[in-house]
Chain A
Amino acid sequence: MLGQEQQLICVNSKKKQMCFEWGPGEMLVCETSFNKTDKSEKVPSCPFIYLIRKDVDVYSHILRKLFNESHGIFVGLQRIEEELTGKSRKTQLVRVSKNYRSVIRACMEEMHQLAIASKDPACGHQFSSQVSILSAMELIWNLCEILFIEVAPAGPLLLHLLDWVRLHVCEVDSLSADVLGSENPSKHESFWNLVTVLVLQGRLDEARQMLSKEADANPPSAGMCHILGDLMRTMPILSPGNTQTLTELELKWQHWREECERHLQDNTFAASPHLESLCKIMLGDEATLLEQKELLSNWYHFLVTRLLYSNPTVKPIDLHFYAQSSLDMFLGGESSPEPLDNILMAAFEFDIHQVIKECSIALSNWWFVAHLTDLLDHCRLLQSHNLYFGSNMREFLLLEYASGLFAHHSLWQLGVDYFDYCPELGRVSLELHIERIPLNTEQKALKVLRICEQRQMTEQVRSICKILAMKAVRNNRLGSALSWSIRAKDAAFATLVSDRFLRDYCERGCFSDLDLIDNLGPAMMLSDRLTFLGKYREFHRLYGEKRFADAASLLLSLMTSQIAPRSFWMTLLTDALPLLEQKQVIFSAEQTYELMRCLEDLASKKPESGQPDAQRLQDDIETTKVEMLRLALARNLARAIIREGSLEGS
């Protein structure tokens, strides 16, 4: 990704400059001119704006499965870190590595099926290319597993490498099917190719079976076939569970080699060029091996075959000598190494950092390097290389990968966990990203909020709720606005919304969103205005239930406790009127005195200055109201005094 150009068939760059802007998931680009004079000539208008986004192919649904499943493995690995101790540690880590690889292979298989089934050739081609990329990734990962995680020692090392090659050079199976499926296998045109490639891959049992078919079909060669078959059968090879030491193995192997050599000297196979060539291969003769370039198909196959037949007990530290020479011999100066070759070579050189660096360059998304590096970090391999940025590199790559996920409308949830496991910058990166998630649905908003609340990201919770509350207010959805304000613990905004509610009530005479207000509970305490709103509604409820005494006390307390905003007092006093005019006396004398005090307090504070007409009319209405209230209060006071002064029951 360094310094490589991307052609976009869009901007006519000869004519204009480009202006642009980053968005969370895309970039806007359009042509313009930055000459700040107020245009002289009429230039042709800019017809197009371009939206550019990264990695569209990343989001194909199969890859999504890859991301989801690898996410599970990743999180699992982080969680078991503490439990990974002692001998079982390596086994566990190898298992994790195999899990990752099986996920890659599953993905490859699905894509392969899609590629075959696809009716559109362009589409099929795209799938096929994805399959190649995944295959390359698995190839690299597998080698890293063998060398860095399994840390196979001399002996088992070769067996692992053989498995590796067999897994990735799979033409053998189709070739085998072809040949064996035919009427006369040994007469099949590809018969000897098959036998050769089996030998190249060290699959000597199968090769021997092929030879016996040839022996049957071609009696004159039976003798030679049997001899060669015997050699194949007796080749000493380390097998799992074998208790012999490497030295013993090597001794036996040398012995066996001498026997093969003797046959060559004796011209045992002189009559059959094929068989002679096979014998030379089994002696690791480089020239003969190189004749089989096409069957080997790549230099690392050549490398492994070479090692099998010339140095099967190769030590890991010696690998890179053989690797480099194999690459050089195989390419033969005709072509230069490709990025994949460089990556594999870096692995053979045990230069982990180089592997990661080359992969970062060659691959267009961070999935591979992020997960592989994380796993290698758990193997304590990055620190052991003693570079100060060891741990930072893991985090750097994980942050890159996770940031990329956030551009996707649902994959972002996976990104959260990755950020969680980045101790330095994970939290702050998550904070920045999670705020930007578009909250198109209430569900999504709640999901985002839950994630923030779990991590005590209080500022993000507040901000997101505020955004939603503001949106609700603008759309006049007061109930929604109120609940978001409460969740945001935003007292100021709760006050604002409560004011709106109250204003609405004054205008329309009824409340909206009664359910919400009735069930505020302790949230009512968030702001005085909100408390008032809740209590005022409670007053109306009490009145509706005809619990007049309670309603009256509540009404009074709203004013005396200063919870009610002064602007609302007139409304409250007006609400008291029906209570004052009931047949029974509801307000006690003392309460009536309080009400009167409030009324006079309110009336005395009226400004006297010259008002515009509308205001004056308002004042007139107010004055009438005040008069009415005074009268009603006076009457109530009289009745209350009388009642309280009389004996009960009389």
Chain B
Amino acid sequence: MFVARSIAADHKDLIHDVSFDFHGRRMATCSSDQSVKVWDKSESGDWHCTASWKTHSGSVWRVTWAHPEFGQVLASCSFDRTAAVWEEIVGESNDKLRGQSHWVKRTTLVDSRTSVTDVKFAPKHMGLMLATCSADGIVRIYEAPDVMNLSQWSLQHEISCKLSCSCISWNPSSSRAHSPMIAVGSDDSSPNAMAKVQIFEYNENTRKYAKAETLMTVTDPVHDIAFAPNLGRSFHILAIATKDVRIFTLKPVRKELTSSGGTTKFEIHIVAQFDNHNSQVWRVSWNITGTVLASSGDDGCVRLWKANYMDNWKCTGILKGNGSPVNGSSQLGNSNPSLSSNIPNLQSSLNGSSAGRKHS
């Protein structure tokens, strides 16, 4: 069902984020060693590091790619209170032969007074725009009006969340019928049990982002948050990584005639809550069509969640380490560890062995 290949990452410290580009042929990693590495996939499917450079003066928490319509652009954010935008410069022919490329910093966003914990580009139909969130509880939205000049970014909005922010997610819904929407999660551990997920929506009249909803039921620190890609649903789906995995639907309620121009109100339902990780859940991520959610937790597992054709969410797969130390050989390339015989498929059932080991 799954096969794994390993690449020697070569970061000198913990990797905090990994990110694929839009087409899945490039990836970026960022680390506490303050650097970002970019990897390219060759025709044969091998990954090579084509750039590695120091990006910040502190741990780099997240790295993310802009849509390729804007070119080859990355953004990173760091403990050093800044976020930065990087652009790839087409290299000299020598570099190309060596398979190296150069990334230059186009801008540094220095408005935050505290560690910047997340940076995400907005959906492409909004232009070249990104949002950052910081431990000081402020979400900042920047825009580059001229996509050919990436050194000019202006701070368009500052949204105060009143809680230390840990993660943000733009609603990727590409329909212009939906106003831009951004969800913010907080890992604030102060005793005020305030709801840790807030949703802000852009108001065309006031030209500002206003709070649309707070998810009152999420009171534990939130580590990651992700809107699902929209296949044409009238409602939104939001996944949250907190002490468990939670999936919410947000159905826009028809605006009252009297409060025209106000923010949309939403009917919020929780459609799934899974504590299978039995521990803090750190990351959630959707596949392209928003039909499968993956989550990772303190139990060292990545779990996959899928709704069947009756809209019931279930776990459809678990990827887990077996606790033994990592294979000592640190060579690059495909070590291709073959799967053990726990492949749950028809063949083993024909042979009479049980269909996969089941864990409680």
Contact = CB atoms under 8 A, between A and B. Distances in A.
A202 to B, nearest CB: 25
A461 to B, nearest CB: 13
A28 B315 contact: no
B344 A4 contact: yes
Majority SS of interface residues in chain B? Answer: loop
A23 B223 contact: no
A403 B321 CA distance: 27
Contacts of A467: 68-69
B296 A429 contact: no
A6 B286 contact: no
Given A21-B285, A467-B69, A55 B323 contact: no
B79 A38 contact: yes
A437 B23 CA distance: 6
A12 B324 contact: yes
A197 to B, nearest CB: 21
Interface stretch (A41-49, A178-186, A211-219, A311-319): A41-49
B288 A5 contact: no
B346 A46 contact: no
B322 interface: yes
Interface in B1-36: 1-9, 11-20, 22-25, 27, 29, 32-33
A362 B32 contact: no
Interface residues of B, number: 103
Given A23-B20, A50-B5, A51-B4, A364 B345 contact: yes
Nearest to A359: B346
A8 interface: yes
A10 B23 contact: no
A438 interface: yes
Contacts of A10: 4, 6, 321, 326, 337
A12 B25 contact: no
A389 B14 contact: no
A10 B358 CA distance: 20
Interface stretch (A468-476, A570-578, A596-604): A468-476
Nearest to B69: A466
B109 to A, nearest CB: 19
B350 A338 contact: yes
B294 A17 contact: no
Given A29-B302, A48-B8, A51-B4, A22 B18 contact: no
Given A19-B296, A30-B9, A36 B20 contact: no
A383 interface: no
Given A19-B17, A19-B282, A13 B69 contact: no
A14 B298 CA distance: 9
B305 to A, nearest CB: 11
Contacts of B282: 17-19, 34
**Which secondary structure dominates where chain A touches chain B?**
mixed
A554 to B, nearest CB: 30
Interface string A516-553: 00000000000000000000000000000000000000
A45 B232 contact: no
Given A4-B318, A5-B359, A49-B18, A132 B350 contact: yes
B344 A1 contact: yes
B345 A19 contact: no
A422 B300 CA distance: 38
Contacts of A19: 15-18, 282-283, 296
A21 B319 contact: no
Contact of B8 (A42, A47, A335, A362): A47
Contacts of B25: 438, 440
A389 B337 CA distance: 40
A425 interface: yes
B231 interface: yes
A170 interface: no
A471 B71 contact: yes
A6 B16 contact: no
A515 B3 CA distance: 49
A28 B291 CA distance: 18
Nearest to B61: A36
A339 B349 contact: yes
A23 B2 CA distance: 14
A12 B326 contact: yes
Contacts of B308: 396
Interface of A: 1-14, 16-34, 36, 38-39, 42-43, 45-56, 129-130, 132-133, 136-137, 335, 338-340, 362-364, 389, 392-393, 396, 399, 403, 425, 428-429, 432-433, 435-440, 463, 466-467, 470-471, 474-476, 496
Given A9-B327, A36-B187, A362-B349, 8 more contacts: A12-B326, A19-B283, A21-B20, A22-B286, A47-B326, A53-B3, A56-B3, A403-B288
7 contacts: A13-B301, A18-B301, A36-B187, A43-B14, A362-B345, A362-B346, A364-B344
Q: Shortest 3 CB-CB distances between A and B: which pairs?
A: A13-B300, A11-B321, A13-B321
Interface of B: 1-9, 11-20, 22-25, 27, 29, 32-33, 43, 47, 58-59, 61, 68-72, 79, 88, 90, 115, 117, 124, 148, 166, 187, 223, 229, 231-232, 280, 282-283, 285-289, 291, 294, 296-302, 308-310, 314-327, 330, 337, 339-340, 342-347, 349-352, 355-359
